[in-house]
Structure 1
Amino acid sequence: MHTFEPRTDFSQRNAALMAAYQHCRSTTNRNALIHANLPLVWRVARQESQRSGHSFEDLSQEGCLGLIKAVERFDPGRGHSLSTAAVPWIRGAIRHYLRDRSHPISGSHHLLDLHRRGQALQHERQQQGLEPLPEAALAAAVGCSLERWQLALARQRSLQLASLEQPQIDDEGELSCLMEQLSDTRASELYARVIGWEQRRHLWRVLRRLERRQRRLILGRLLQNLTWRQLAEGSGLSPKVVQRRGERLLLELRQQLMPLLTS
């Protein structure tokens, strides 16, 4: 788990790394400075991902390019800290990337709006003691085709899965994973039994060793109770293939977590 250092310690460490880079502008010194300031990239990328609906990972990559430019062009003589100077570079790189993809963004916003309207309608019916509308009726109620509504659902699921993997900065400035902040009541039985802080950290280390597609499969199954068919959507694989792979991964995960679950 990543954590922020206290502001004073972080500033001092940043100043020391910058001094080393100014003294010797080597790739090693530059990379050390970039690594120390990655939380800035994650913070801006998270904000822009929530605003635009684009992948946090893609925006983080673009933000890193902005951070590299900020480090290479930073002038300590201007009296600003690197973190202050870097944020505009990071945000600028991300928004340039988003502008180049303005049409997909518009489509993504429409799908997110459809999902919000559908959820609001279902919530209103629940408050009135009415049964939730089936998908076809709900699609008609929000003014779209069934296929379009299902696409909005798939888009929302992909964003939820991405948010489980992306770093999040809480009010205390601590960098953590949303996965570790989920309440036990929202988790599956397996996850709910892993209740200790160190146990959850171990679970996250196990998940991080998986390939990205495998991790998303496990998170979707364990934490969101998605069906194999839902998890197969957009993967290019049949639900049966996804199920076989998922069940094998779950078995391996249980074997690795068994000492924690029985302690």
Structure 2
Amino acid sequence: MVKRIPLRKPRGRLYRLAALVIRSVLHLTTRKDWHGMNDMPAEGGFIAVSNHVTYADPLTFAHFLYNSGYAPHYLAKSPLFELPLIGMILRKTDQIPVHRGSVRARDAVDSGLKVLDSGGVIAMFPEGTLTRDPDLWPMVARTGAARMALMTGVPVIPVAQWGAHRLLGRYSKVIKPFPRKKITVKAGPPIELDDLRAGPLDNDALREASTRIMQTLTAMVEEMRGEKAPEVRFDMRKKSS
């Protein structure tokens, strides 16, 4: 049985209530195959990055982090904050809205920096959306996670996962709770980025950092699946051009 580690930093009542509800639902519908809970940083802020296959991923990702002693802050698309109930919960639990393509796009980075400076944990999906790879492999990432990592110098911890798509299929809104689904989640050692932090924060550095992040996550997913990912990672920008 996987034991929950006490939270390193206490959070408000609504956060704890939301966590209780999510954990209770996932306890009934999933089986934990978790690894690396005790290997993450014992102090200081860090960025946790994960692959993204289904809309259930934020819940299974948060479940793993919460039970590991961390109450993560997510960067989420700003329209979600306008929804009646979900938006209220996101706002009251200090999640961070991302205003893509607007003059407020920088706000998410600034809010994330404050969380990290205070010793908090940012949870991110570097791809920025569900993978478009037909076989659900990690695809080419956006540079947001890399930018925040290089700006702050905090550790970037890979947390790969596999199995949540059996609970909720990609793009599906219908949960398949029974039988309980095996969810494999594993945290790995910090991704090496120090050499990039020593140089200029330019496009080359951002692309290289993003590549390392996705290479690490892909290798971890390969181990979970017992399969080899495609040699060329799916790239949404090339697909749409």
- Whether TM exceeds 0.5 here: the answer is no
Per the shorter chain, which TM-score range? under 0.3
Task: Name the one with the larger strand percent.
Answer: 2
Task: Name the one with the larger helix percent.
Answer: 1
Q: Which has the greater radius of gyration?
A: 1
Q: TM-score, normalised by structure 2?
A: 0.25
Q: TM-score, normalised by structure 1?
A: 0.24
